[in-house]
Chains A and B, each alone.
Chain A
Amino acid sequence: MRDLLSFFVLLILLGGCSRAPVNVGTIDAVVIGSDVRPPQLPIELRIPNGLSAGSPVSVPDAGLPVTFTISSANGQDAERYRYAVYYRNESYKFDESGPNGQQHPLAEENFYGCANGDDGAFSITSSPIAKEGSSVSTTLFLHSDPREEMPEASWGRDPRVGLYSMLLVAIPESAFGGAIPEAVRDVRKKEAGHFVEPYWFWLHGPGADLQGAIVKKIPDVFVLRSVADPARGIAQCGNTSADLEQFFNHIDPASRFNNIPVVADVLGNGFTPRDHDSAMCFTPTEKWASTLPSIADEPCKTVRYDSVQHALEIRNPSCADGLLRKENVGISTRKRYTYGRFRVHARLSPLLNDSDLWNGLTNAIWLIGSDERTGQRRACAGGFRPYGSDTSSEYRVPYSGYAEIDFEIMKGMPLCPERSFPPIYPQQVTDRNDPRSWLRVLPLEVQQQRGKVAVACTNWDLACPDPPAFAIGCSDVSMGARNFSAHRWDRDYRAVTEKSMELDDELFGPEGYWFEIDWRPEEIIWRIGPSLEKLRVVGYMNSTMTSIPNVPMQLVVTQEFHNTDWWPGSPYAQGGIPFPQKELLGRVFEVRIE
């Protein structure tokens, strides 16, 4: 606490320094990349394919040459200069300046680093600056954990995807001295327990007023992407250079349910709502099959690369072998990412048949992070409700390593407005002679959703009550002129969800569909569309109403069988849906994080 206080006192003192105009030199003739054929900016960089989760990233292979010319103010200083080259991710950052011009309290979470200098970030010119200016050069590597916070798991601080800027700084040797804090000269160091964000220091903080300091920011220098290549196959299937791996769901024993002992081809119209209602009503108690959703007993049985379709196939197996099972299947990226636009082009299994009966699947495109080695979420003063890998028995804890952001698509109903939830389904009566007694007439508001599935967009904020607009029930969150209704069951409920109703045929048609989770430091945007150019927003949340995670997560694509107790309001119970007679096929064509 004392450290924190002294840090802010230092910031105030530094930030309060006088800002008299100073006569400074210039940095120009900046060349990034080859000086023979300077590339167009931003330079495209990619996270290398085939990296395992635990492999650190360093790009580009040979580094990025940076050359620039330092000129003194009057051309007659005849002094050596110190210079530094910083870089910072601009797409997923907090503003460096907070209220009153001080460093933003969360700016130290930004992803930044610097070219290695002779003394931390800084190098020194080999001779005094020439009258016409002197050219200096360095080489920049964008690499994991530039502040060396996690030597045991540097991959937990992999470079963020998106646009990067560069900040060039030069300062006369005579002015360098003690004017620059250790935490600015060396980005690995802290001041009073906190990192000093160099962009804030040089652009808005004390560095901006430092006598003779020359500062030049170059926006959009390079852009980093990660493109998982399905053709590289699945990691567990002998493809050591794969970008993707088979994902095995954690199966909660409490998700067990009783299922009708029927095997049918639902998508092939081998089962109708009438069959469902009849089976639900007249199946003798002793015939129900106690069912716990399962996972493949060995890798690679239910996922594979299809070289004809150029897609990764995921298949929920059929029960043609006589084994009654509802088996989940999925894939995930091997790498974890902090923030980004996670884009998936996939043709997942359709969910409805011609009579609007659901096949029981929940198609999910989601992010999960639960690896304690990669650090914990930003502290929650009101406490997180422990979840997932959290082993705490405390009711609420200040820290958690668990994070999850979901698209989950199933036959459900909107949770909002609260006044119309849940729909009222009739109670079945066991009178075989009167079909009206057991054949349900679905409520009008459910009938109006024929052909549609619910796209649920969820952020698992672990019920952290810190955001000022934290709420229970339905509450609106605005994105420009548009309102989204977010729903949380109660104060302790770990997730907040928004739902929209979309056409099953459109989302899971033969051409496939794009799903995007745009995870930013202060907001999350869920988009879907037939192409990247035609994405539309179906969910929006921000840090005023939910805790946005800040730990690395992997991207997962799954087709899962959920207990419908998780989805109140659904017109069909999972237990009333037959076991699949045919395998349920999904194809993943493209996975990009950018």
Chain B
Amino acid sequence: MKNSRRIALMFTLTSTGLILLAAAVLVLMVPSIKQSARAEWHAFTCPAVPESRTQLKEYVSGITSYADPIPFGTAENSGSPNLHFDFDLDLSMAVYQTVDAFDGPKAFNMMRSSPAIVRVVGDVSDSLRSVSVGFWMKSTDPSPGVRIVIRIERPDGALVEWNEKRLLDPEHRTSEWERFNFEWLLRELPVDSNDRVIVFISSKSSEPILIDEMDIVFRSAKPFNQGVPHA
């Protein structure tokens, strides 16, 4: 390599390095930029929502019905703030199910990810305060990497916020049924009644995870008056 090329390359690398360094310093040292970068990174890392998800049918009357995906169910459900899935329905797609259950005849045999449950905030809550998700699970993997993911998005799909809880390996009991709960307290989060709450489970394990008796609760500030329509 000629000297001039070498110098040009070194100049380019050095200046790129300096620019990157300056950017890093800016991100680390300026609180507003740091905060903004953190928020961007947080949004960027939101796990992709599984394609299999609840189908929403909105009627002229303003009522929405929900068809939850297998193995959660197939029947149309109204918007109850308390969802319970026992995975005991006799489904033809047996690949999702196992007879090794925590309670009842069957459990959900999850590979990598569950389908997503979707609800419109105003259908299941009046001033949504928190979203809780919990289930019994069993895994032979000592490090199953199970996550409960909750995402809130606008009707057009824009992310409002997301949150997750990871099962910590030291707390995991291999090959035993164990309860895994997550409560996301929304606090000051600006949630609109038309926003969507999306819930799913994921795992990094190559082995199936057994899931049973799953609950999703949408908590309002007060007892929920389901008869009152939302905007």
Listed in ascending order, the chain A residues whose CB lies under 8 Å from chain B are 280-282, 285, 417-431, 437-438, 443-445, 474
* Chain B window 205-231, contacts with chain A (Cβ cutoff 8 Å), 1 for yes, 0 for no: 000000001010111101111100000
Known: A422-B183, A424-B217, A427-B217. Is A417-B171 also a contact (CB below 8 A)?
A: yes
Q: Considering the complex of A and B, which 10 residue pairs feature the smallest CB-CB distances, nearest first? A: A427-B81, A420-B179, A428-B223, A417-B171, A281-B223, A424-B132, A424-B134, A426-B82, A430-B225, A419-B171
Which residues of chain B from 56 to 94 have any CB-CB distance to chain A below 8 Å in the complex? 80-82
Asked, given contacts A418-B171, A419-B171, whether A427 binds B220 with beta carbons under 8 Å apart, the answer is yes
**Which A residues are in CB contact (< 8 Å) with B133?**
424
Query: Once bound together, how far apart are the Cα atoms of A430 and B223, in whole Å?
Result: 6
Residues of B within 8 A of A429 (CB): 80-82, 223-226
B161 within 8 A of A: no
Does A445 contact B179, Cβ atoms closer than 8 Å? Answer: yes
What are the residues of chain B within 8 A of A419 when measuring CB–CB? 165, 167-168, 171-172, 178-181
CA separation between A478 and B220, bound complex, in Å? 40
With contacts A419-B179, A419-B180, A420-B178 taken as known, whether A426 is within 8 angstroms of B217 at the C-beta atoms is yes
> B213: which A residues are within 8 A, CB to CB?
444
Q: Is the CB of A424 within 8 A of B223?
A: no
A244 to B222, CA, bound (A): 44
Q: In the complex the two chains form, what is the Cα distance from A444 to B165 in whole Å?
A: 21
Residue among B181, B183, B220 facing the most chain A CB atoms (10 A cut-off): B181
Least Cβ–Cβ distance between B136 and chain A, in angstroms:
9
Chain A to chain B contacts (Cβ below 8 Å), 13 pairs: A281-B223, A419-B171, A419-B172, A419-B181, A420-B181, A423-B134, A423-B181, A424-B133, A424-B181, A424-B183, A427-B223, A428-B223, A430-B224
A14 to B121, CA, bound (A): 74
CB-CB under 8 A from A431, the residues of chain B are 226
What is the 8 Å Cβ interface bit string for chain B, positions 115-147, against chain A (1 contact, 0 not)?
000000000010000001110000000000000
The closest CB in chain B to the CB of A282 belongs to B223
Considering the chains assembled together, what is the distance between the CA atoms of A420 and B168 in angstroms?
11
Interchain nearest-CB distance for A555 vs B (Å) = 35
Contact with A along B176-209 (1 / 0, CB 8 A): 0011110100000000000000000000000000
* Chief secondary structure at chain B's binding surface: strand
Expressed in whole angstroms, the Cα–Cα distance for A423 and B217 within the complex equals 11
Which residue of chain A is the closest to B133 with respect to CB atoms? A424
Q: Nearest A residue to B167 by beta-carbon distance? A: A419
Assuming the contacts A419-B180, A420-B178, A422-B181, asked whether A427 and B219 have C-beta atoms less than 8 A apart, the reply is yes
A543 to B104, CA, bound (A): 47
Q: How distant is the Cα of A426 from the Cα of B83 in the complex, in angstroms? A: 9
- Give the CA-CA distance A282 to B224 in the complex, in Å: 11
The reply to whether A438 and B217 contact each other, CB–CB distance below 8 Å, is no
The answer to whether A425 touches B217 (Cβ under 8 A) is yes
CA distance A563 to B224 in the complex (A): 22
B155 shortest CB reach to chain A, Å: 23
Q: Which residues of A are found within 8 Å of B220, using beta-carbon distances?
A: 427
Contact A474 B224 (CB under 8 A): no
Knowing that A419-B179, A427-B219, A430-B223 touch, tell me 8 more A-B residue pairs with CB under 8 angstroms: A419-B168, A424-B134, A424-B181, A424-B183, A427-B223, A429-B82, A429-B224, A443-B134
Chain B residues in 8 Å Cβ range of A280: 223
Query: Chain B residues with Cβ under 8 A from A418's Cβ?
Result: 168, 171
Chain A residues near B225 (CB-CB < 8 A): 429-430
- Interfacial chain A residues near B180, Cβ < 8 Å: 419-420
Known: A427-B219, A428-B223, A430-B224. A474 touches B171 (CB 8 A): yes
Highest count of chain B CB atoms <10 Å: which of A427, A430, A444, A474? A427
CA distance A558 to B131 in the complex (A): 36
Return chain A residues, CB-CB under 8 Å to B223.
280-282, 427-430, 438
A438–B180 CA distance with the chains assembled, in angstroms: 25
Contacts of B217 in A (CB 8 A): 424-427
CB distance from B29 to the nearest CB of A (A): 20
- For residue A485, which residue of chain B has the nearest CB? B171
Q: When chains A and B are docked, how far (Å) is the Cα of A117 from the Cα of B102?
A: 76
In the complex the two chains form, what is the Cα distance from A540 to B226 in whole Å?
47
Inter-subunit contact B171/A424 (CB<8 Å): no
A424→B215 contact, CB < 8 A: yes
A280 to B222, CA, bound (A): 9
Bound-state Cα–Cα, A292 to B217, Å: 30
Are B171 and A428 closer than 8 Å at their CB atoms? no
- Assembled-state Cα–Cα distance A418/B179 (Å): 10
Min CB distance B172 to A, Å, is: 7
Residues of B within 8 A of A437 (CB): 226
Instruction: List chain A residues, Cβ under 8 A from B171.
Output: 417-419, 474
State the CA gap A428–B222 with chains docked (Å): 8
Cα of A437 to Cα of B225 in the assembled complex, Å: 10
Which of B80, B82, B133 has its CB near the most chain A CB atoms (within 10 A)? B82
Bound complex: CA of A418 vs CA of B170, how far in Å? 11
Minimum C-beta distance from B225 to chain A (A): 5
**A-contact bits for B87-109, CB 8 A (1 contact / 0 none):** 00000000000000000000000
Complex: how many Å from CA A419 to CA B166? Answer: 8
Looking at the assembled complex, report how far the CB atom of A537 sits from the nearest CB atom of chain B, in whole angstroms.
22
Does B179 contact A427, Cβ atoms closer than 8 Å?
A: no
Nearest-CB distance from B162 to chain A (Å)?
A: 19
Q: Nearest Cβ in chain A — how far from B191, in angstroms?
A: 15
Give min CB distance, B203 to chain A, whole Å. Answer: 14
Given contacts A427-B219, A427-B220, A430-B225, contact A421 B181 (CB under 8 A): yes
Q: Which residues of A contact B218 (CB under 8 A)?
A: 427
| Cβ-closest chain B residue relative to A283 | B223
Bound: A445/B215 CA distance, A: 13
Chain A minimum-CB-distance residue to B222: A285
Q: How many Å from the CB of B81 to the closest CB on chain A?
A: 4
A434 CB to nearest chain B CB (Å):
10
**C-alpha spacing A51/B133, complex, angstroms:** 56
For residue B167, give the distance in angstroms from its CB to the closest CB of chain A. 6
Chain A min CB distance to B34 (Å): 18
State the Cβ distance, B158 to closest chain A Cβ, in Å: 26
Nearest opposing residue in chain A for B166, CB measure: A419
C-alpha gap A385/B85 in the complex (Å): 44
Which of A419, A426, A438 is most buried by chain B, counting CB atoms within 10 A of its CB? A419
Give the complex CA separation of A280 and B224 in angstroms: 11
Query: What CA separation (Å) do A421 and B132 show in the bound complex?
Result: 11
Contacts of A422 in B (CB 8 A): 132, 181, 183
